[in-house]
């Protein structure tokens, strides 16, 4: 065997290991962001399960606020249905639609909180306080899980877009970026808070 044959074989073996490495990294990174989304899904299902209890508790006190309660339930149902669909396929368009549904739900819950301010007995209700605390705790868990998901998606997208993995990624079926999951509070978080004395 000549030296040139050995060099060519070494290059081919090195290239094969590189291709295998890129493929394995794409699979690992895709599985990481899918797992991260599964963690969000768990917390959002908990959130979606808490909302009907919150509304039922509020109904007894808020007899004249039926429209607000219906908006909350409608937004909750839309978000829950999209969450179920999104678990099957995480396309950028589906992630965007889901983000919008969650923003609508957050807005409806905000409207409910504003209306609840007019009902001191409701705010003082032990059941309402417990549900509100559980919902707040769940919202915090969702925010942490969303951050982990967005970090995993960014890592995947960066690797998929970089050269030379981008050439191989397309060959392996990793043809599109995955969208970040942004909710209504994303814009608020990015704004610098104003402080005045």
Angle at which helices 3-59 and 126-161 cross, to 10° = 160
Task: Show the domain range for 92.
Answer: 3-185
Which of 137, 135, 141, 158 has its CA nearest to residue 33?
A: 158
Is residue 190 domain-resident? Answer: no
Rounded to whole angstroms, the Cα distance separating 24 from 147 reads 24
**pLDDT of 73:** 86
Q: 3-class SS at 2?
A: coil
Domain count, the chain: 1
Backbone angles phi, psi at 19, to 5 degrees: -60, -45
The pLDDT value given to residue 17: 94
The answer to whether residue 192 sits within a structural domain is: no
pLDDT at 63: 67
Q: Assess if residue 103 is contained within a domain.
A: yes
Over residues 60-74, the pLDDT tens digits come to 777 667 788 888 888
191 in a structural domain: no
pLDDT score at 184: 56
The answer to the question of residue 162 being in a domain is: yes
Whole-angstrom CA distances from 144 to 25, 88, 147 are 24, 22, 5
| Ranges in the chain, pLDDT < 70 | 63-64, 87, 123, 183-197
Instruction: Please count the other Cβ atoms lying within 10 Å of the Cβ belonging to residue 29.
Output: 20
- φ and ψ of 59, to 5 deg: -55, -40
Confidence at residue 193, expressed as pLDDT on a 0 to 100 scale: 35
Q: Specify if 193 maps to a domain.
A: no
Cα 147 to Cα 191: distance, rounded to the nearest angstrom: 17
CATH number for the domain harbouring residue 133 = 1.20.1440.20
Nearest one of 46, 27, 2, 5 to 165, comparing CA atoms: 27
């Amino acid at each position: 065997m000549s030296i040139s044959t050995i060099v060519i074989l070494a290059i081919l073996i090195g290239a094969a290991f590189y291709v295998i490495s890129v493929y394995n990294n794409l699979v690992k990174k895709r599985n990481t962001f899918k797992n991260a989304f599964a963690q969000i899904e768990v917390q959002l299902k908990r959130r979606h399960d808490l909302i009907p209890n919150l509304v039922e508790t509020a109904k007894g006190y808020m007899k004249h606020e039926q429209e607000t309660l219906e908006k909350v339930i409608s937004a909750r149902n839309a978000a829950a249905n999209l969450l179920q669909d999104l678990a099957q396929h995480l396309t950028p368009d589906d992630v965007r639609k889901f983000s919008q549904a969650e923003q609508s739900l957050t807005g409806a819950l905000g409207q409910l909180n504003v209306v609840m301010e007019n009902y001191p007995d409701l705010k003082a209700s032990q059941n309402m306080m417990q549900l509100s605390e559980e919902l707040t705790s769940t919202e915090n868990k969702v925010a942490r899980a969303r951050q982990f998901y967005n970090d995993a998606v960014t890592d995947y997208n960066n690797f998929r877009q970089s050269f030379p993995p981008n050439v191989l990624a397309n060959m392996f079926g990793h043809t599109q970026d995955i969208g970040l999951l942004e909710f209504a509070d994303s814009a608020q978080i990015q704004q610098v808070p104003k402080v005045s004395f």
